Chains A and B, each alone.
Chain A
């Protein structure tokens, strides 16, 4: 293929608006040419426009990725085949005949030719006034004045653009490539051409249209353009100004002119640079001022807001003062004329209430046309639906209190609890009331806004929580704010889940309704969104039973105005007559739906109504303290149990554990957990045998609450093993009388059994000291025979070796279970005298490595050690502690055996330790012993009882989580339950609990009869005998259980307390 005379190079980039004009102007030149267009990956459709051209002279190419103007131009120039090369930027255009005129000059020996330029605007119109034109005219004037290219180019780039370049291939081969300057690569090319001796040509006709528009390269960064110009001049000046030839006056004049123009350009460039720098600095200052203005505006707004709030506060204070004055006036009036004032107050109240009631009634009297139906339960609802089946295509249900039941009322209790938990999280534990008020304020505001926007006063939970957090914790970082929002939302969902249970009969009804082909819709006035509500219902067992859910928070309209029903009907595309809506709220569910033409069914479940009533009253009274908080919590536990299939068992002992001992033990455990979290022991030792149930409860609590508690360790220890170990220091009087602390004590025999000593070894010595027999009862604990017996060295010589051996075994056993590895531990047991802790403190208290012991007991009577304070550590009875001198706590001590039986482990009592393969292991009482056999027979009953206790604990924990009540708040009611269990048992309770076998493991092998069978009607005629018998009974109040009236045990309690008080 023959090479064209001229190659026109058009580098194209994002000039879709102008590129067609540029290409067309090149193709219109009447010379032999080729037009090479290389598109630099334009993104504005330039390439589509270019490919629309059909001309064999046109060569199109496109970069895969944007490479920049410099590289694109180079690539296009390298592809050119013409003898002469011309460049045209894609936003400029040639005048007709330009190339022919330039070629004529090139043919005359010029190496590079340019022409006059016409400035055009974006739409191609000629621009007649612009600084660019002035600058160009000045440069042209220099050329016309000097006809010296060095002088002209030192004054500035008169060619203005590469579009004005038409040059020969040899020149390009000599100078290629263009320099990497962003703005002055054309100027650089010209200066280098001059340095290399090229001949430049100029045509004084405007043969190029240079387009001025918003994205001209020069307008990108004028400062950089000027800096590049300065650098360029510095680079080429030596070569340009180097004098050649002889020094003549003409040459001197020419050089002076060149220097003058150079100086002018230099000064201009510097001035431009300074002006641009000043402009940039000005812009930065303006931007900073704009930022500051914003801050100032913010400050002014805050000040205005503060002033507004202060004014608001002053208004409130004034209002409050007005109320106080009004109240004082009423009080003063009441003092002057009490009866008249009271009458006036009552009359006022009645008048206000009457007005409100009348207004409500008038609103209500607008009865709907569609019928309102009342059903008492789901069975009646099913009959109703069956009768109307042919006319119905869908059933619509309210959600809360209709499909799901609440275990806590009113629902605002959940919000109160969330506010309390948020307060804890924010480190403002005592500020829950303020947080709650803020929440109500936010909700009120959002509801008012929704109403103002034309909807009902419905708002979305997400909006409430976000606005709430912004109000109570302003100025938090975005991540922290988001974490707080998620915390509040998660707590509310968790508590709602604990507070809601599915109604089994409702679920069965829905299964049936779907089975007969009815569509099931749920319609709820709720601030939770549709998705969390669906998740909640699915979690409660309604998955797959509900076809569609309509929630007021999403649709911004409520049921109570009927607009949510209208929305539901419109979206479902069914007529109102074919839908039946069921709900527990008469106004929102029955009346409002009936007014929309639906059949409104008022689900009036009597037991639900009564439950709501009871719980609302319980919540009202809970703030009074005393028994009320505990009673409210127990209401919640009973409601949860109502829906728990595991609680539906008939066996007495399970029921007794669940209903009687469960709440009492659970309250104790809450107190234990609170103390463990407060005192932070490193480990909690639960002492055999009665600590076993408490350990299981403690572990279950940790699992339910998902909190890390100190590890629980079970210790096989008994009063007998620690008492035996105490004998290493000998037997003194204080220790000896411990064995006599039992109404059925048998003197020395009881003492020997208490300390695990062999009675046979002491029989001879006892006789020597005047004892008729070793089992002679000792009513006088200061009996001189006992004192002499203890003082006998032979007795002590027999006692001490046994004590030393027992102490070594005890130490090794406790070392094995890690007791001495800690510096602070807790001990938990049923209690009574805290004997184990006391002996442990006495034996090891002074030894190095013995930890500080905090003893937490269910009940502490301290009868045996009333005068002996603990030498180290702390000791506390949670439900009963005689140190507190609170008589109303005493019930557990009046029937200790009940609580011991309820808490005891299934294994036998630990009677000692032995070494097996170097390890110390506990030794248990023989299963063949008569009392142990009786215990083994009772173990299944105890197992059932403890299953009940653990189930109660699970629900107790949920209720405690819902209410946040602590041990001190719950204890009074637990005391009432304890009093009821001990003093006012039912006849069945007395009969069934009498079946339990209770063994005494401290000094006695007796099997206690817990029943009151030993007392009959005949004993009533022998008061003295009756009194003795009753004194020996472990559970004296069981006698009155047969009488079916609380007055008899109340009277007995009165006399018992009186007697105890006199003691």
Chain B
């Protein structure tokens, strides 16, 4: 899949938050497409954690060190 397709179909969460800002600044709330700041922060944290603590990669790293 091209990155273009991914970009168009699976919108980055921060971009959705940005698209929601004009509504928020005008006080036009209600049910809509805002991800929410807390959820955005949670998402970024979750993605970072999954990236940093990739168990298989860490294990491979340790085993390779042992085999050297």
Residue numbers of A with Cβ under 8 A of B are 361, 364-365, 367-368, 371-372, 374, 584-587, 590-591, 602, 604, 609, 613-614, 616-617, 620-621, 624, 626-628, 631, 634-635, 637-639, 641-642, 655, 658-660, 663, 885-889, 972-973, 975-977, 979-980, 983-984, 1046-1047, 1050-1051, 1053-1054, 1057-1058, 1061
Residues of A within 8 A of B63 (CB): 364, 367-368, 372, 591
With both chains docked as a complex, state the minimum distance between the C-beta of A459 and any C-beta of chain B, in angstroms.
25
Smallest CB separation, A701 vs chain B (Å): 20
User: Once the chains bind, are A628 and B47 in contact (CB under 8 Å)?
Assistant: no
Q: Is the interface of B mostly helix, strand, loop or mixed?
A: helix
Contact A888 B33 (CB under 8 A): yes
Q: Name the residue of chain B whose CB is nearest to the CB of A1053.
A: B22
Q: Is the CB of B11 within 8 A of A626?
A: no
Known contacts being A365-B62, A609-B54, A976-B16, is A888 close to B1, with CB within 8 Å?
no
A586 neighbours in B (Cβ, 8 Å): 55-57, 59-60
Contact of B1 among A374, A642, A885, A1054 (CB under 8 A): A642
> Judging by beta carbons under 8 Å apart, are A887 and B30 in contact?
yes
The interface residues of chain A, by DSSP majority, are classed as helix
Contacting residues, chain A, for B36 (C-beta < 8 A): 626
Q: Give chain B interface residues in 13-52, CB to chain A under 8 Å.
A: 13, 15-16, 18-23, 25-26, 28, 30-36, 39, 42-43, 46-47, 50-51
In the assembled complex, the Cα of A1051 lies from the Cα of B55 at a distance in Å of: 43
**B residues touching A (Cβ–Cβ < 8 Å)?**
1, 5-6, 8-11, 13, 15-16, 18-23, 25-26, 28, 30-36, 39, 42-43, 46-47, 50-51, 54-57, 59-60, 62-64, 66-67
Residues in A whose Cβ lies below 8 Å from that of B13: 627, 631
Q: Which residue from A617, A635, A983 sits with its C-beta under 8 Å from B50? A: A617
Q: Does B39 lie within 8 Å of A621, measured CB to CB? A: yes
**What are 14 contact pairs spanning A and B, CB under 8 A?**
A365-B66, A586-B55, A604-B56, A604-B60, A609-B54, A621-B39, A626-B36, A639-B1, A641-B1, A886-B30, A972-B32, A1047-B18, A1053-B19, A1057-B22
Partner pick for A975 among B25, B32, B43, B54, CB 8 A cutoff: B32
How far apart are the CA atoms of A187 and B31 in the complex, in Å?
A: 101
Known: A372-B60, A663-B9, A1054-B22. A626 touches B34 (CB 8 A): yes
Bound CA span A609–B6, Å: 16
- Chain B residues near A372: list those with CB within 8 A: 60, 63-64, 67
Q: Are B19 and A980 in contact (CB under 8 A)?
A: yes
A1051 and chain B: residue at smallest CB distance: B22
Q: A631 contacts which chain B residues (CB < 8 A)? A: 10-11, 13
> Residue B5 contacts which of A614, A626, A638 (CB distance < 8 angstroms)?
A638
Give complex CA distance A585, B11 in Å.
Answer: 30
Q: Which residues of B contact A980 (CB under 8 A)?
A: 8, 11, 15, 19
When chains A and B are docked, how far (Å) is the Cα of A943 from the Cα of B49?
Answer: 44
B19 nearest in chain A by CB position: A979
Count A/B pairs, Cβ under 8 Å. 149
A835 nearest CB across to chain B (Å): 27
Instruction: Kindly state the separation between the CA atoms of A911 and B50 in the bound complex, as whole angstroms.
Output: 59
Also in contact, A659 and B39, with CB within 8 A (given A620-B46, A886-B30, A975-B32): no
Contact of B35 with A1054 in the complex, beta carbons under 8 Å: no
A949 vs chain B, min Cβ distance (A): 13
Given A604-B56, A621-B42, A626-B39, the answer on whether A1058 and B31 have CB atoms closer than 8 Å is no
The distance in angstroms between the C-alpha atoms of A616 and B6, with both chains bound, is 17
Expressed in whole angstroms, the minimum distance between the Cβ of A987 and any Cβ of chain B is 13
A1050 and B19 contact, CB distance less than 8 A:
yes
A635 and B9 CA atoms in complex are apart in Å by: 8
**By the criterion CB–CB under 8 Å, are A887 and B11 in contact?**
no
Knowing A621-B46, A631-B10 are in contact, say whether A972-B31 is a contact too (CB < 8 A). yes
New contact pairs (15) apart from A634-B9, A634-B10, A976-B33, CB-CB < 8 Å? A585-B56, A586-B59, A609-B56, A613-B47, A624-B39, A631-B10, A631-B13, A885-B30, A887-B32, A888-B20, A888-B23, A975-B32, A1054-B22, A1054-B25, A1061-B26
Q: How far is the CA of A368 from the CA of B19 in the complex (A)?
A: 52
Given known pairs A613-B47, A634-B10, the reply for A1058 and B26 (CB within 8 Å) is yes
Q: Contacts A621-B43, A641-B1 hold; do A1061 and B28 have CB atoms under 8 A apart?
A: yes
Q: Bound state CA distance, A189 and B47, in angstroms?
A: 102
By a CB distance below 8 angstroms, the chain B residues around A975 are 32-33
Asked whether B59 lies within 8 Å of A364 as measured between CB atoms, the reply is yes
Minimum C-beta distance from A994 to chain B (A)? 18
Q: Which residues does chain B contribute within 8 Å of A977, judged by CB atoms?
A: 9, 11
Query: Which of A602, A887, A973, A1058 touches B56 (beta carbons < 8 Å)?
Result: A602
| Chain A residue nearest to B28 in the complex (CB) | A887
Whole-angstrom CA separation of A980 from B30 in the bound complex: 19
In angstroms, how far is the closest chain A Cβ from the Cβ of B39?
A: 6
Q: CB < 8 Å: which of A365, A584, A976 contacts B11? A: A976
Task: Report, nearest first, the 7 A-B pairs whose CB atoms are least far apart.
Answer: A888-B32, A976-B33, A887-B28, A642-B1, A586-B56, A367-B66, A1054-B22
Question: Contact between A617 and B43 (Cβ–Cβ < 8 Å)?
Answer: yes
C-alpha spacing A615/B25, complex, angstroms:
32
Instruction: Give the one of B1, B25, B36, B42 with max A CB within 10 A.
Output: B1
- Complex CA gap A977/B19 in Å reads 10
Chain A residues lying within 8 Å of B16, measured Cβ to Cβ, are: 627, 976
> Shortest beta-carbon distance, B4 to chain A, in Å?
8
A604 near B57 (CB under 8 angstroms)? yes
| B28 → A minimal CB distance (Å) | 4
The answer on a CB contact under 8 Å between A1046 and B18 is yes
In contact, A973 and B33 (Cβ under 8 angstroms): yes
A987 to B19: give the CA distance in the assembly, Å: 17
**Complex contacts, B11 vs chain A, CB 8 Å:** 631, 976-977, 980
Q: A888–B10 contact, CB under 8 A?
A: no
Pairwise interchain contact A627-B33, C-beta atoms closer than 8 A: yes
- Whether A1054 contacts B32 by the Cβ 8 Å rule is no
Smallest CB-CB separation from A640: which chain B residue?
A: B1
Who on chain A is nearest to B47 by CB? A617
A885 to B63, CA, bound (A): 60
Which residues of chain A come closer than 8 Å to B39, judged between CB atoms? Answer: 621, 624, 626, 628
Taking the closest CB of chain B, its distance from the CB of A966, in whole angstroms, is 15
Identify which of B22, B43, B55, B60 contacts A374 (C-beta below 8 A).
B60
Q: Are A613 and B59 in contact (CB under 8 A)?
A: no
A164 shortest CB reach to chain B, Å: 92
B21 touches A1050 (CB 8 A): yes
> B62 and A364: CB pair below 8 A?
yes
What is the CA–CA distance of A364 and B28 in the complex, to the nearest angstrom?
Answer: 55
- Report chain B residues within 8 Å CB of A621: 39, 42-43, 46
Residues of B within 8 Å of A604, CB to CB, are 56-57, 60
Q: Which chain B residues lie closer than 8 Å to A984 at the CB level?
A: 15, 19
Once bound together, how far apart are the Cα atoms of A1051 and B18, in whole Å? 10
- Smallest Cβ distance from B59 to chain A, in angstroms? 5
Q: Which residue of chain A has the shortest Cβ distance to B26 in the bound complex?
A: A1057
What's the minimum C-beta distance from A947 to chain B, rounded to whole angstroms? 16
A94 to B9, CA, bound (A): 102
- Which residues on the B side are within 8 Å of A591 (C-beta)? 59, 63
* Closest-CB distance, B12 to chain A (whole angstroms): 10
* Measured CA separation A584–B59 after assembly (Å): 13
- Closest-by-CB residue of A relative to B57 is A604
B50, A616: Cβ atoms under 8 Å?
yes
Q: Are B28 and A888 touching (Cβ within 8 A)?
A: yes
Rounded to whole angstroms, the CA-CA distance of A979 and B28 in the bound complex is 15
User: In the bound complex, how far is the Cα of B21 from the Cα of A973, in angstroms?
Assistant: 16
In the bound complex, residues from chain B placing their C-beta under 8 Å from that of A1047 are: 18
Complex contacts, A889 vs chain B, CB 8 Å = 32
For the complex, what is the distance from the CA of A634 to the CA of B8, rounded to whole Å? 10
B31 partner residues in chain A, CB cutoff 8 A? 886, 888, 972
In angstroms, how far is the closest chain A Cβ from the Cβ of B14? 10
Report chain A residues within 8 Å CB of B54: 609, 613
Q: Which residues of B contact A368 (CB under 8 A)?
A: 63
Shortest CB-to-CB span from A616 to chain B, Å, is 6
Residue in chain B with minimal CB distance to A968: B31
Q: Cβ of B42: which chain A residues have Cβ within 8 Å of it? A: 621
Say whether B32 contacts A641, CB under 8 Å. no
